[in-house]
Amino acid sequence: MSDSRQFPEGFLWGASTAAHQVEGNNVNSDWWVREHAPGTDLAEPSGDAADSYHRYPEDIALLASLGMNSYRFSIEWARIEPEQGFVSKAQLAHYRRMVDTCREHGLTPSVTLHHFTHPRWFARLGGWRNPDAPALFERFTEIALPVLGDDVEWVCTINEPNMVAMTRGEEGTEMTASRLPAPDPRITDALIEAHRRSRAVLTQLPQVRSGWSVATQAYHAAPGAEEATKAYGYPREDIFLDAAKGDDWIGVQGYLRTFVDPQGNPLPVPEGAETTLTGWEYFPPAIGIGIRNAWERTGGVPVVVTENGIATQDDARRVDYTHDALVGVHEAMADGIDVRGYLHWSALDNYEWGSYTPTFGLIAWDRDTFERTPKPSAHWLGEVARTGTLTHPTR
């Protein structure tokens, strides 16, 4: 039985990337240091990545030709300010060209100021534990204003601050709350302050709408674990959503669900459940749950899905997952939640924090030649974007 759902005119349809994961040779970043440290815990370094630093015109043109109308990318602090106090005008111009290229192809740029990586010098100063960290990020926001100019509307200050507070910028390669230590409260406080300071700077540009994106975990309480689940979820998700009250928008990122037991411990993926290449449970409703929680916690701040996707080599399964996730988005909108856009993770297969094995991309590329090949899922999602009509190709 085929059903179709209509999305409104002006809805943002696109895909996301992060600088370190696709650009290549981000040599002044803390992650590059970690990748090349003796005895590193990482399976492989980022290296050239997808060479999107040089090939972004092709990537942007490809997204536009597929039917997308938006591209979310991050600008790399470690390139723009490779040493404390030294600002590269050439790198600011580079990222501004990315904005202009989006405009030339009819894509609405969505710019993220911080996506997990930062300069070596910032890490040496203690990263987000340094008492000056919020002021340093405030200054970086000021430095980045020329990239945004008078025409970039959508700006994300910090990507997944809850994950930053849990990984502390230095531990593990996991990006799910259930497999990480509890957030460092000092880092949480620093990130919230940095976000507020950054938003204050961004008010200098009247067209900017600013917010941040939170990794939502679709917490599920095991029997008798309702209170324990609330207590578990608050420092890992809800505190960051609460900090977005009054923001212009809130970014919701969701991939999976997490069950919590009455002792407040996360439970492993249920026996026999389908899992993805990252070992996460296949659970498309996660994004709809994340949207609803964000809407409730923020008191009705408009939502943008800034990331949602699946690590798989079975591209038909990617279509299934994305379709069912978008059903959840549509149902949230039908219930009156103001959702402004859906940006898939990710535009390209990329460097997933230690490995190229988990393939999230709508577009594949050759490790030797960097030749891009859109997958069937890219053509399908592009058609959904072009028409605003969600249908499944085989249902």
Contact, 247 vs 303, CB < 8 A? no
Write the DSSP assignment of 75-127 as a string of letters.
Answer: --HHHHSSBTTB--HHHHHHHHHHHHHHHHTTPEEEEEEESS--BHHHHHTTG
Strands 108-114 and 154-159: parallel
How big, in percent rounded to 5, are the helix, strand and coil portions of the chain? 40, 20, 40
Helix axes 133-148, 185-202, angle to 10 degrees: 30
Question: Quick check: 76 and 26 in contact, CB under 8 A?
Answer: yes
Two structure tokens written together for 303: 């939502």
Q: Please say if 160 is a catalytic residue.
A: yes
The single residue listed with the structure tokens 């997808």 is 50
3-state DSSP assignment of residue 299: coil
Report the C-alpha gap between 293 and 287 in whole angstroms.
Answer: 10
Which tokens go with 120? 């070596």
Residue 137 has, within 13 A of its CA and on its CB side, a CA count of 28
Task: Please list, in sequence order, all residues whose beta carbon lies within 8 angstroms of the beta carbon of residue 25, skipping any fewer than 6 positions away.
Answer: 47, 48, 49, 53
Q: Which amino acid is at 13?
A: W
The one catalytic residue among 35, 138, 160, 237: 160
> What's the residue count for the chain?
395
Phi and psi at 262, nearest 5°, equal: -60, -20
Report whether 378 contacts 66 (CB < 8 A).
yes
Helices 52-66 + 89-104 axis angle, to 10? 20
Could you list the active site residues?
Answer: 160
